[in-house]
């Protein structure tokens, strides 16, 4: 899903039937940079979408007014401005009951980042704390920076892409300084970094540790050592977490059957998937779905039964 862009008016589609729609980053011209910035109104109706959907890009949202709830994966965050939110590619999110929602957004693909892998690691860790309240001073600095990004993007003067990358880098670093932010943990490097990216997409195709090692050109043992040294966890644990998270997203935001969801996250045997899910979450897939029954209609009318 890296670097996906479409022209304005392009479709919001689903990669496979039954999954939440996927919003691809819209650019003004084919040769322009994969970046957009502006207020909710300038970004269009998808910026306030009330139905579950995914992005192929990163979104940073600075909320300065309004009320309601922002739903990101399975978590509900009450809108209490001023706040700063981060939505990662592949996450399922939508807005509920919002009134008077005001603020600005920055949208971009991984390739646009000035700091490359370092900035991606910051974003990944910011995604672990995706909705933060801002004090008055931080709100003022963030508002000023978001306005600069929108103005530079809107005018598109010579060298604007470089300016945008620099301003975006500053925004990420400052966001990481927020209490409980992303600056303290050591960055994930090399093989471990590439594995973390694969694990983040594990729910889509369900690769094993051995398959991941083959893709990265290392042995499973070397991969385990590198990932454990960088993250303190095993590759298998990270893959289980990613597959569980994707299954939870599909249970809550689609009408797919348990059998269909099992296949989506790499389980040929639905019964084994149910045992796996219960072990990881403490609930059966059916119980989990009933407990989080806020699904919107998906693109496929699936039978919610196994």
Number of Cβ within 10 Å of residue 5's Cβ equals 18
Report the distance separating Cα 112 and Cα 161, nearest Å.
Answer: 9
Burial of residue 20, with CB atoms counted within 10 A of its CB: 0-12 exposed, 13-18 middle, 19 or more buried: buried
CA count, 13 A, side-chain hemisphere, 121: 19
Under a CB-based contact definition with an 8 Å cutoff, are residues 62 and 103 in contact? yes
C-alpha distance from residue 252 to each of 72, 89, 228, 302, 304 (Å): 11, 18, 31, 13, 11
- At residue 203, the pLDDT reads 54
Q: Given this model, what pLDDT does residue 303 score?
A: 37
pLDDT at 300: 34
Confidence of residue 271 (pLDDT cuts 50, 70, 90): very high
- Which residue, 39, 71, 55, is CA-closest to 1? 55
Nearest residue to 40 (alpha-carbon basis) of 56, 21, 64, 24: 64
pLDDT of residue 92: 86
> Which has the minimum average pLDDT: 20-24, 39-43, 161-165, 247-251?
20-24
Tokens in use for 36? 């957009």
Q: What percent of the chain has pLDDT over 90?
A: 33
Question: Greater confidence, 246 or 62?
Answer: 62
Higher pLDDT, 300 or 96: 96
pLDDT score for 28: 63
Of 46, 7, 121, 30, nearest in space to 38 by CA: 46
CA distance 303 to 306: 8
The backbone torsions φ and ψ at residue 54, rounded to the nearest 5 degrees and listed phi first, read -115, 170
For the CA atoms of 254, 260, 265, 270, the dihedral, rounded to the nearest 10 degrees, stands at: 130
Whole-number pLDDT of residue 117: 72
Here the tokens at position 124 are 């990944």
| Chain segment 26-70, per-residue pLDDT in tens | 766 555 678 999 999 888 888 899 988 888 899 999 999 999 999
Kindly report, residue by residue over 149-194, the tens digit of the pLDDT: 999 998 888 888 899 999 999 999 999 888 754 433 344 457 777 7
- Choose among 189, 4, 155, 22: nearest CA to 92: 22
pLDDT band for position 206 (cuts 50, 70, 90): low
Give the pLDDT score at 189. Answer: 56
Mean pLDDT in the chain?
80
Q: Is the pLDDT of residue 101 over 60?
A: yes
**Which pLDDT belongs to residue 201?**
61
What is the pLDDT, as a whole number, of residue 113?
86
Q: Confidence band (pLDDT; 50, 70, 90) for 208?
A: confident
DSSP 203-215: HHH---HHHHHHH
Burial zone of 179 (CB within 10 Å; 0-12 exposed, 13-18 middle, 19+ buried): exposed
Structural domains present in the chain: 5-176 (2.60.120.280), 190-291 (1.10.10.60)
Closest CA to 206 of 252, 273, 253, 120: 273
Pick the range with the lowest mean pLDDT from 2-11, 136-145, 156-165. 2-11
Quick one: which of 254, 260, 257 has its CA closest to 297?
254
């Amino acid at each position: 899903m890296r670097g996906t862009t479409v022209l304005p008016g392009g479709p919001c589609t689903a990669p496979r039937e039954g999954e939440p729609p996927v919003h691809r980053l819209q650019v003004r011209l084919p040769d322009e940079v994969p970046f957009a910035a502006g207020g909710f109104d300038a970004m269009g109706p998808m910026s306030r979408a009330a139905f579950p959907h995914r992005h192929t890009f990163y979104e940073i949202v600075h909320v300065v007014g309004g009320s309601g709830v922002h739903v990101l994966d399975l978590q509900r965050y009450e809108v209490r401005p001023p706040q700063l939110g981060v939505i990662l590619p592949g996450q399922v999110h939508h807005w509920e009951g919002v009134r008077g929602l005001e603020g600005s957004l920055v949208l971009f693909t991984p390739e646009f980042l000035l700091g490359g892998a370092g900035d991606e690691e910051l974003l990944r860790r910011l995604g672990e704390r995706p909705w933060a309240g801002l004090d008055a001073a931080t709100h003022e600095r963030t508002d000023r920076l978001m306005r600069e990004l929108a103005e530079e993007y809107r005018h598109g003067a010579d060298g604007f892409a470089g300016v945008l990358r620099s301003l975006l880098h500053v925004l990420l670093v400052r966001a990481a300084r927020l209490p409980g932010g992303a600056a303290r943990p050591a960055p994930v490097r090399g093989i471990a970094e590439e594995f973390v990216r694969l694990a983040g997409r594990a729910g889509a195709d369900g690769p094993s540790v051995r398959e991941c090692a083959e893709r990265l050109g290392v042995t499973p043992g070397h991969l385990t050592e590198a990932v454990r040294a960088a993250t303190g966890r095993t590759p298998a644990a990270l893959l289980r977490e990613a597959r569980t998270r994707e299954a939870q997203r599909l249970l809550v935001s689609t009408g797919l059957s348990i059998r269909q969801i099992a296949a989506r996250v790499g389980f040929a045997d639905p019964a084994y998937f149910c045992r796996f899910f219960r072990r990881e979450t403490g609930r059966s897939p059916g119980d989990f779905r009933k407990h989080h029954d806020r699904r919107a209609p998906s693109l496929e009318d699936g039978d919610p039964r196994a």
